[in-house]
Structure 1
Amino acid sequence: MQNSKRIALLLGAVILTVGLVYIAFHFIFLNLLVDLWWFHSLKFESYFWLRLLYRFFLSGGVTLLFFSIFFFHFWIASRYFGLNPQPNVSLGRLDKRRLFQRFADTFTSGSVLVYTPIPLLLAIYIAVPFYQHWEMALLYLFGGPSGVAEPVYGYDTSFYLLSYPFYLLVQQELLTTASLLFCAVGILYWLEHVFVPEQRKEFPLGAKIHLTILIGFVVLFAVWGFLLHRFSLLYTDTHQPVFFGPGFVEMRYQLPLIWLAIVTFLATAVTASLFIFSEKHRIKTPFFIALTVFLCVLGLSKVHFIPELIQEYIVNPNPVKTEKPFIQHNIDATLDAYDLKHIKTVDLPVKLNAVDDIKAWSSQEHFENIPVWDREILVDTYNQLQSIRPYYSFLSVDEDRYIILENTRQVNLAAREVNLSKLPPEAQNWENTHLRYTHGFGAVVTPAGQDAGNPLVWYMRDLNQSSSVGLSVQYPDIYYGQEQYTYAIVPNKLSVMGISGTQSDPDAKTPYKGEGGVPIPSQFRKVLFAFYFKDQNLLFSPNITTESKVLMRRNTTERIQTLTPFLHLDNDPYLVLTKERFYWIQDAYTLSKWYPVTQLANDDFLEGKQEFNYIRNSVKIVVDAFDGGVQYFISDSSDVLIQTYNSAYPSLFKNLDEMPFELKAHLRYPRELFYLQMKVYAKYNQKAPELFYQQAETWQFAKVRGQPVLPYYQTIDFGNCNGKGEFVMLNPMTPVNRDNLSIIGMAGIMDTTTCSTAYNPSITIYKFLKDVQVNGPAQVESLIQQDPEISSLFTLWNQGGTKVELGRMVIMPMGNSVLYVQPVYIVSSTNAIPKLSRIIVSIGNRVVMDTNFASAFNRLKQMFISSSDDGNNTATPKGNADP
C-alpha cells in the first residue's frame, strides 16, 4: 500500500516537473532566445535588454516592495504575541499560561516561516496591475514637462499624460494595501487579546501605536484619492453635445464639495482615532458630528436634484455668460490635443470671371499632376495587367511624387508582392512556401494624371523593371511588405524565383545577398527554430545550409509592433523606390486618453479601436523591403510622450535630420491624421465661446452621391518656388446640411514661404468669402447630370454590356477660382479593367467633358469669354438658389 502511494507521489512529481520544464522551455527560454537573436539581427540588442530589464526591475521591484511592507508589519505584530500577561496568576491557570506561552514562543520564533508565504501571495495580488501597466511607471520615471499648461487648474499637460494615470494606480494599490494591513494586524491583536489567558484589559502600547500608524496611512491614501478626484472633473461629459469638460456646476458646486469632503474626512479620522485609542479623550460627540457632516457631504455629491436646480435656474437662463470660460477651456485644450493650434487661415475671394485663372493654368505642367486615376480602381488594373505570375499580387496603390523628366510628377505606385494563396493547392507545399517562393519582385509606377481615351501610361513595369523615364532599382526583391508573409529560409539549395542584384532575367537563380535574417549556423539553432515554428521540416530538410538565414516577422506592421508596441501605426504605409532598393515608410503616432478637457476621438481611427484624445505624428519609421532593417526617426520633437520614450530608450530613435535625403524627399502628411484633424476642426474652428455655442460655422465633409469626399493627395505648384510643386493633401468641406463649398483644407510638409525642403508639417484653411456662393461637389455633379451632351453620352455608354463609373472628384483652388475634375471610366461586363474614357472639368457653373485637359480648358475659356460678353456671372451670387 505504502509502495503504491510512493509510486503515485513519484509519478505525480515527475509529471509536474516535466510540465514545468515544458512551460519554462516553450514560453520563457525558447521565446526569449529567439527574440534575442531576432533583435540582434536588427541591431537592437541593447534596446531588447533595456526593455526587458525595465520590465523585470519595475515588476520585480514593486513585488519586493509590497512583500517587504506586508512582511514587516506582520513580523512586528508577531513580536507582541502572548507578551502581555497579568503578574499574579493562579496555579490552575499557570499551566494554561505555560502551554500557551510555548505556542507563543514557537509562533514568534517561527514567524519568518509563517509570514513569508502570506506576504508573498498578498504582494503578488497587489502588484498584478503593475505587471500589466509597467510602462505607465516608465513614463512617470522618465517624463518631463511639456511647457503647455491646461486651462482649468493650470497644471502642465505632462502631469495628465505621464503622472496622473500612474498616481491613480498607485493610490488605489496603496489604499488597498494599508486597508488590508490594518484589518489583518487588527484582527491578530484582537485574537491575542481575547484568547491569550489572563491578558490585561488594556491593549499593549506598541499595538496601539502600530494600529494608529496603519490607520494614519489609510487616511493619508484616502485623502490622496479625494485630491486626485478633483482631476476627474476635467473628463466629465455631462455638457455634451454643447462642449466637453467641467462647467459651472462642476467648478462651482462639485469642486467645493470635494474640498469639504477632505476636511470632514480628516476630522472624522482624527476624532475616531482619539475615541478608539485614548481613554482620556473618549468623547463620542465630536466623532459623531464629524462623521455626520462627512456623510452629508458624500450624500450631496451623489444627489442629482441640486446640480439640476443650479443648471436649470442659474446656468440655462444665461448659458453663454455662465459657461463662457469653461467653453473656452474646452476649445483651447482640444486645439492643442489634436495639434490644431497653428492652423493658418487664408480668405479666398472668388472672382466671377475665371478667364485669367484658366490662362494661368493652361500650361502642360499643371495638367500632369491632376490625379485622374483613383487608387481603388488602379489596384484591379495593376493586378490584371502586371501580376504576370500567379504568385504575385498588388495589395494596395500608393501616391507619391518623383522628379521625372526634370519635373515633379505625381505618380501612383505599388509593390509586386508574393501571395502564396494564389498558387494551385498542390503547389502550396512546405518547400515552395518557405524555400522557393520567398519574396515579391519590383513595382509598377504610373502617372497620376494623363489624357483620357489612351492606354495607361507606365513609368515602370514588367519583371525586367523597364522604364522609359529613367527609373531603376538595383535590388528590386521585396522580402518584407504588407502581405501576410510566413517565415522564409534563404539562401538555400533550391532555385529561388526572382532576382537579386540584376535586372536582366527574372528567373535568375541567385542567392539572397541581404544582411537581414537570423543565421542558422548550427544544428542547435535548427532544433530550436523547429520547436519555435512547430515545424519538423525545418529540422530535417537537406536544402538548408549553414549559410541560411531565417526571415521572420516579415509583415511590416507585425515587425514594427513587435519592436515598439507603444507606438500606434497608421493604416497606410507607403512604398518608396530609390536607386538601390525599395523602402516602406510607416507613420506612427503617440496617443493618450488622458488629455484634460478634451473629448475622446469617436472614430475607429486606428486598427484596434484605440481610445484617445491626444495624438501626435511623432515618428516616421523606415523599413528596408530587401533587408528588413527598421529605423525610427523622430518627426515631432515637441511631443512630450516621444521625448519620454527617447529618454527611456536612447539607442532606439534618430533625429529626422539623419534620414537620407532620398527618403526624406518622400515624407508626407498622413491621410488618416488629416481626416481626424479636419473632423475635429469642423466644429472647433469656432474659437469664440459665443460662436461655438451657436454652432453657426460648423462644417462637414463635402459629399458626392451621399458619400463624404475624403482627403486626397495633390501636387500643386503655387508659383512661388521656381516651379517646384508641393505634395499636399486637400479636403473640401461644406456647411452643415448645405451643399455649397465653405472651405478647402490643405495639409503639407513644405514651407512655401522659404521653399525649404525641411520637413515642416502644417495645415492651411482656404476659406471662401460669403459674398459669392461656391458650388460644392454635389452641386457640380448635379450640373454634370443636367448637361444634355454629357447625359446623352452616359445613356449611350450604359448600354451594350458597358457601364459608366464616375471617379473621385478632385477639388482644388485655382487662383481665385475653384477647379473641379472628375474622371469618367467605362467598365465592360466582360473585362474588369476600367478604361479612362473622358475627363470632366468644371469651374463656376460651367461644365466641360473632353479627352484631355488642354481641350477642356480652351472650351471653358471660350464659355467664360462668351458669358462675360453677355453679362453673365461665373459663380452663383450670394442668396441665389443652389443649381
Structure 2
Amino acid sequence: MIAGLVILFFIFAGLYTDVLWFDQLGFLSVLTTQWIATAVLFLIGFVAMAVPVWISIQIAYRKRPVYAKLNSQLDRYQQVIEPLRRLAMYGIPALLGLFAGVAAATRWQVVLMWLNRSEVGRKDPQFGFDISFYLFDLPFFQAVLGFASAVVLISALVVLATSYLYGSIRINGRDVIISKAARVQIAVTASVYLLLQAVSIWFDQYSTLTSEGSLITGASYTDVFATIPSRAILAGIAAVVALLFILTAVIGRWRLPIIGTALLIVSSLLIGSLYPWVVQRFQVDPSAKTLEKPYIEKNINLTRDAYDLADVEQIPYNATTTAEPGALRADATTTANIRILDPALVSDAFGQLEQFRQYYQFPSNLDVDRYMIDGKSQDTVVAVRDLNIDGLNAGNTWVNSKTVYTHGYGVVAAYGNQRSADGQPVFLESGIPTTGALGEFEPRIYFGETSPEYSIVGAPEGTDSIELDYPSGSDGAGQTYTTFSGDGGPKLDNPFKQLLYALKFQSEQIFLANAVNDESQILYDRDPVTRVQKVAPYLTLDSEAYPSVVDGRVKWIVDGYTTSANYPYSTAVSLSDAITDTETPPQPFALDSINYIRNSVKATVDAYSGEVTLYAWDDKEPLLRTWQKIFPSTVKPMSEMSGDLMSHVRYPADLFKVQRSILGQYHVTDPGSFYSKDDAWTSPNDPDSPASNPTLQPPYYLTMQMPGQETPSFSLYTTFQPDATGESSRNVLYGYLAVDADAGGTDGERADGYGKMRLLTLPKDGTVPGPGQVQNVFNADPDVSTELNLLRQGSSTVLNGNLLTLPVGGGLLYVQPVYVQSTGETSYPLLQKVLVAFGDQIAFEDTLDSALDVLFGGDSGATAGDTTVPVTETDTSTVSPTDGDPAAEPAPPATTTGDPATDAELKALLATANETLTEKQAALAAGDLAAFGVADEKLSETIAKMLALLGE
C-alpha cells in the first residue's frame, strides 16, 4: 500500500511539474489538449475492447448447455478454472481493454486531425477526392477499421474458447456439434468481421494512390485496370459472405457460408493477385513506356507539388571552362562576398581566441548568418559562447553547477570574407563584455544548446548576486555577478514545489539548499529545439537551430515542418537519409518516411528568457491550419514578425536537402525520359569525406547572383552530377540548384523572391568538373603538393575547407580555403592559402584576390572579399585567451613609424618577441612551466615596449 502511494506520488510529481512548465511558458493548452485527447481515446479504446469481449464471454457462458456430457479432459479443465471463473470473466476483458486503450491513446493525433481536417483545394487525379481525404480521412478510417477488426476477432476467439470449454462446441469423432446458441453467436460475430473486411478492402482501393511500386508511387496502369476493380469486387464478395453467415444464424446450415468463405479465398488469389500479375506481365511490361505515361506524369506532377518543387525555374547554362581576362567583372559583387571562412573548421579558432575560460564552449559547427554592416549585408560566421559545466572539473559541485554557473555569455561573430594577416578570423562582435558592430543587446545565454540540465536562478531584491555573469569586472574585480530577472521557468516559491522538483531531478539539494528561496526559478528543458518540440509536438524540426541578434535580444531561430506520408502519387523519401551529410549526422524522426513537407512554422526561442514564439510561415498550409484548430492561439501570424527578425530568417537547409534528393530524379518532367532514367542526377559526395565512408556534400549558404537575378542575394545552393545508377560514374556537373534564402527585412512582410528556386542545367556533353574531380586535380598538382609539404613542416596538419561552387564568369568557379594547424594542445587552424579552380585550371595563392588574378591572367575584373587585417584588429576583448603555442598566440604588430631610429628599435624588439615565442613554445612542449612563465612575462614586456614606441 505504501509502495503504491509512493509510486503514485512520483507520477503526480512528473505530471504536475509538466503543468508548471507549460503554464509558465504560456502553452498549457497544448498539454491539456493532449491529456484530454489521450484520456478520452484510452477510455474509448478500453470500453470498445472490454465491453464486446465481456459480452461475448457472458453470452457464451449463459447459453451453455447445462446438462451437456463432457469428456474427462474438459471436466478437469472446468474444475481448475471454475474457482477463477468470475475473475477471468472480468479480468480478461479488463486486461485486453487496457492494451486496447493504450493503443488507441497513441493515435490521438490521427483522431484530432480528422475531427479538425482542412481542405487542400486540389483533387486527386484518379478518384477526384480532395487531397485532404488522403491526409486526414483515409488514415482515420483505416485506423478505426483495424481496431474494430481486432475487437471482433478477439471476441470470436473468446467465444470459441468459452463455448468449447462449457460444451457448446463438442467434437465427436469426425463430427463437430455446435449448440444453437453458439451457432448464432459465432455466425453473427463472423458476419460482423467479414463486413468490416469488406469495408476495409473497399478503402484499400484508395491506398493504391500512396503505395510504392517498382516504377512510381501511386496507381499505375495495372492498379487502375486490375487492382482497383478487383478490390471492389472482393469487397462485394466479402459482403455477400457476411450475409450468408447471417443466414446460417437463422437456418442453422453452415454449408453456404463455408462455400462462400472458400470462394472469397479463391477470389482473392485469382482476382486480387493472379489477374493483376497477368495484366502486368503480358499487357503492361511489353508496352510499359507507352501505357505508363499518364501515370508517370501524375507521379511527376504530384511529387513536385508535395515537395514544393512545382515552380523551379530551369535555366540552360552553357558553362565555359576557359578562364578569360576580365571574365569576373560582371560578378564583382558576388566575388567580393565569397565566404572563405569555413564554419566547420573555425570552431577551435573561436575557442582559443574567444572562449576565455574552461567553462565556456562553442559548437563544433558554427552557423552562417548575415547582418547589415555599414549599410551592406555581410555574411558572418556566428556562435554563442555557451556554458560547459564539465569544464569546471573539481569545481563541479551542486552549488556551482546549479546556482553559480547558470548561463553562457555573448555572441561571437566573424566576417565570412575576411581574415587576419596570419589567418585568424576577423571578429565583428567579440569579447567579454561583448562589443562590436551588432550594437547593444542582452548577451546572457540562459537557454542554449549545451545549457545544464537545470539551473536555479533568482533571488530576493537587495540580496547579493551569486550567479557568475562573466570572468572580469570593474575596479580590478576578477568576476562580475548577476541575478536572473526574467521569467524563464517555474517558481520554487513554496516547499511543496521544491519537493516536487527534488523528486523530478532526483536531487535533495533542491529542497534543502539555502540558495533556493521564494524568488527562485528553475530553468530546464533549455535546448531550443527541445522547447519548440514540446510546445509544438506536431512539427518535425530542422536539425539546426541558429542564433541571431534580433531586436536587442539573442534569439534562436528554429524551422518547423509539417509532414505526411499520405500525399497521393508522391514518392516517399527517408528524411534521416536525405539530411545526412558531412555536417549533419544521422538522426531519428518520429515520421521518417515522408512524401509531403512544408516549412510551415518559424519559431524563436529567447536565449535569455526561454520564451518560445511560433509564427505561421505558411498559413494556407492544410496541416498547419488543422493543427491551429486543435491548438488555437498558439501560433502567431507572420504579420507579427519584426523586420529585424525577418532579416535573419533563412531558407532551411534540411528542407533544401530533401528537395534536392527528390529533384535529382524529378527535374525530369518528360514521362518517357523519366521511365528510361537516362537523366538521373545525384548530389556529389563531399570530396574531403573518407573514401571508406563517403557522405554527401552539404549545401552552403552564400551571397551571390544567379543567372536570372538582378542583384545578389543570400542563397543556399547545391550541385548535381550524373547518378551512377543511370550511367557510368562521371564526376562532372550536370546541374546547379540555388534558392533565394533571404526572407527580407520589413515588418511582417517577406521578400518576394524568398524561396525562388533556379536550376542551372548544364550540357550533357559538358566537361565542367565536379567537386571530387577538382579536389583530385588539386591534390595531384605538383606545385600545390610542394607548397603543402612546406606547410606540413614541423608536424603541422593541412585541412581542406569547404569547397564552394559559384556560377560566375560564364562558368562555375570553385573556391576552397586551406587551413594549417600545428600539433600543440591549444593550437587551432589558421587560414593560410586559397584554392581556386575554373574548368581544369587551378590557382593556389595566399589570398583569394591573388588566386583569381593568377587564374584569370591578372585581370580578373573582380574584387574578392578576403581582406587581410593586422592581427591586433581582431582583439577587442577585455579578457585574455588561454596561453598556448604560436599558432594560438596573437603575433606582434608588423608596422613602421617613419622614424629610422624608432624603426630600428622596433625591429630589434620584434626579433626579441619572435625569439621569445620560440622559447615559450619549447618550454610548453617540455612541460617546463617555470620557463614558460618567464618567457611569457618577457613576451608581455617586449610587446609593451613596442606599443609604447608606437604611442599606443
Same fold per superposition (TM over 0.5): yes
Residue 517 of structure 1: aligned partner: 489
Separation in 2, partners of 1:508, 1:580: 21
How much does 1:506 deviate? 8.4
Question: Aligned pair in 2 of structure 1 residues 846, 119: CA closer, same or farther (>3 Å)?
Answer: closer
Q: Which residue in 2 is equivalent to 1:775? A: 769
Q: Structure 1: how far apart are the matches of 2:553 and 2:750?
A: 26
Output the amino acid matched with 1:546. D
- Residue 41 (structure 1) aligned to one of 8, 24, 28: 24
Tell me which residue corresponds to 1:872: none
What residue identity is the alignment partner of 2:193?
A: V
What's the offset of the Cα at 1:500? 13
Q: How does 1:201-212 map to 2 (within 5 A)?
A: none
How many angstroms apart in 2 are the aligned matches of 1:688 and 1:719?
Answer: 24
1:171-226 per-residue CA deviation (whole Å, 9 max, x = no partner) reads 1221233344566678889999969xxxxx9999x999887765543332121121
What is the alpha-carbon distance in structure 2 between the residues aligned to residue 788 and residue 202 of structure 1?
92
Aligned to 1:487: 454
Query: Which whole-Å deviations, capped at 9, do the CAs of 1:503-532 have from their partners, x for residues lacking one?
Result: 998832221111212111122222222222
Q: How does 1:363-442 map to 2 (within 5 A)?
A: 365-395=333-363, 396-424=365-393, 426-442=394-410
2:795 aligned residue? 801
Partners of 1:630 and 1:194 in 2: CA distance: 64
Question: What residue number does 1:747 align with?
Answer: 739
Deviation at 1:448, TM superposition (A): 0.7
- Measured on the aligned residues, the alpha-carbon RMSD in Å equals 3.7
SS in 2 for 1:449: strand
1:731 aligned onto 2:718: yes
Q: Which AA in structure 1 matches 2:467?
A: V
1:575-608 CA deviation, whole Å, 9 max, x = no partner?
1113522110111222223333444323434721
Gaps of 5+ in 2: 68-84, 170-176, 580-585, 724-728, 862-952
Deviations 1:455-496 (A, max 9, x none): 4211111212122xx323432110111115221111256622
Contact persistence 1:265–1:294 (CA under 8 A): yes
Residue 400 (structure 1) shift: 0.5
Q: Look up the match of 2:534.
A: 562
Local SS of the residue matching 2:626 = helix
The residue type equivalent to 2:587 in the other structure is: E
User: How many pairs does the alignment contain?
Assistant: 805
1:766 maps onto 2:749 in alignment: no
Give the structure 2 partner of residue 253 of structure 1: 226
Deviates more, 1:123-132 or 1:502-511: 502-511
- Give the deviation of 1:376 after TM superposition: 1.3
What residue in structure 1 maps to residue 469 of structure 2? 498
Counterparts of 1:219-238 in structure 2, within 5 Å, are 219-238=194-213
Q: Deviations over 1:115-165 (max 9, x none)?
A: 776654454343332022222111111112212333443333322222222
CA contact (8 A) 1:347 1:766 kept: yes
Secondary structure of 1:23's counterpart equals: helix
Cα separation, partners in 2 of 1:183 and 1:508, compared to 1, 3 Å = closer
Q: Which of 594, 609, 620 is the equivalent residue of 2:566?
A: 594
Give the whole-Å Cα distance in 2 for the aligned partners of 1:854 and 1:458.
21
Sort the Cα spacing of 1:486 and 1:803 in 2 relative to 1 into closer, same or farther, 3 A: closer
* Correspondences of 1:250-289 after superposition (within 5 Å): 250-278=223-251, 284=255
The corresponding residue for 2:700 is: 712
Q: Which amino acid aligns with 1:321?
A: T
- Alpha carbons 1:441, 1:478 under 8 Å: kept: yes
Q: Does structure 2 conserve the Cα–Cα contact (< 8 Å) formed by 1:415 and 1:443?
A: yes
1:642-653 to 2 correspondence within 5 Å? Answer: 642-653=624-635
* 8 A Cα contact 2:433 2:470, kept in partner: no
What is the identity percentage for the equivalent residue pairs of Structure 1 and Structure 2? 25
AA aligned opposite 2:514: P
Q: Structure 1 residues 368, 272: closer, same or farther in 2, change over 3 A?
A: same
The verdict on how the C-alpha distance between 1:694 and 1:651 changes in structure 2, with shifts beyond 3 A counting, is same
> Among residues 186, 192, 198, which one is paired with 1:217 in the alignment?
192
> Residue in 2 aligned with 1:360?
330
Instruction: Say which SS state the counterpart of residue 827 (structure 2) adopts.
Output: strand
Q: Report the equivalent of 1:167.
A: 141
- Find the aligned partners of 2:316 and 2:447 in 1 and give their Cα distance: 46
Counterpart of 2:120 (choices 142, 146, 166) is 146
Tell me the equivalent position of 2:588.
608
Deviation at 1:443, TM superposition (A): 1.7
Choose 762-771 or 396-405, whichever is displaced more: 762-771
State the match for 1:870 in structure 2.
none
- The offset of 1:316, in angstroms, is 2.7
Distance 1:38 1:451, change over 3 A: closer
**Is the 8 Å Cα contact of residues 498 and 506 (structure 1) preserved in structure 2?**
no
CA contact (8 A) 2:852 2:860 kept: no
- Aligned pairs for 1:429-468 within 5 A: 429-450=397-418, 453-454=421-422, 455-467=424-436
Counterpart amino acid of residue 115 in structure 2 = L
Which residue is 2:875 aligned to? none
From 800, 805, 810, give the equivalent of 2:804: 810
User: What is the alpha-carbon distance in structure 1 between the residues aligned to residue 682 and residue 62 of structure 2?
Assistant: 72
Judge conservation of contact 1:476–1:500 (CA < 8 Å) in 2.
no
2:636 matched residue in structure 1: 654
Q: 1:75 to 1:500 in 2, by over 3 A?
A: farther
Residues 463, 506 of structure 1: 8 Å contact kept: no
Q: Are the aligned partners of 1:452 and 1:839 in contact in 2 as well (CA < 8 Å)? A: no
Q: 1:188 to 1:822 in 2, by over 3 A?
A: closer
Query: Kindly tell me: are residues 785 and 49 of structure 1, through their superposed partners in 2, closer, same or farther at Cα, counting changes over 3 Å?
Result: closer
Higher RCO (CA-CA < 8 Å; seq separation 6+): 2
Q: Alpha-carbon deviation of 1:378? A: 0.8
Does residue 619 (structure 1) correspond to residue 601 (structure 2)? The answer is yes
Range with greater deviation from structure 2 (648-657 or 59-68):
59-68
CA distance in 1, matches of 2:31, 2:552: 29
Provide closer, same or farther for how the CA distance between residues 533 and 128 of structure 1 changes in structure 2, counting only shifts above 3 A.
closer
Aligned CA distance change for structure 1 residues 76 and 258 (closer, same or farther; 3 Å): same
Which of 519, 523, 534 is 1:547 aligned to? Answer: 519
Residue identity opposite 2:292 in structure 1: E
CA spacing shift, 1:116–1:383, aligned 2, 3 Å: same
Question: Alpha carbons of 1:79 and 1:379: their partners in 2 closer, same or farther (altered >3 Å)?
Answer: same
Secondary structure of 1:817's aligned partner = coil
8 Å CA contact retained: 1:151, 1:333 = no
Q: What residue is the counterpart of 2:832 in the other structure?
A: 837
Structure 1: 5+ residue runs without aligned partners?
Answer: 1-16, 86-110, 196-200, 867-883
CA distance in 1, matches of 2:9, 2:597: 40
Q: For residue 761 of structure 1, what is the amino acid of its counterpart?
A: G
Q: Is residue 2:460 matched to residue 1:478?
A: no
Q: Residue 745 of structure 1: CA displacement?
A: 0.5
2:828 counterpart SS class: strand
* In structure 2, distance between residues paired with 1:268 and 1:865: 82
Residues 541, 561 of structure 2: 8 Å contact kept? yes
Taking structure 1 as reference, are residues 390 and 803 closer, same or farther at Cα in structure 2, changes over 3 Å only? closer
- TM-score, length-scaled by structure 2: 0.77
Distance 1:356 1:262 in 2: 73
Letter in 1 for 2:737: G
In the alignment, which residue of structure 2 is the partner of 1:339?
A: 308
In 1, Cα distance between equivalents of 2:416 and 2:116: 46
Distance 1:575 1:615, change over 3 A: same
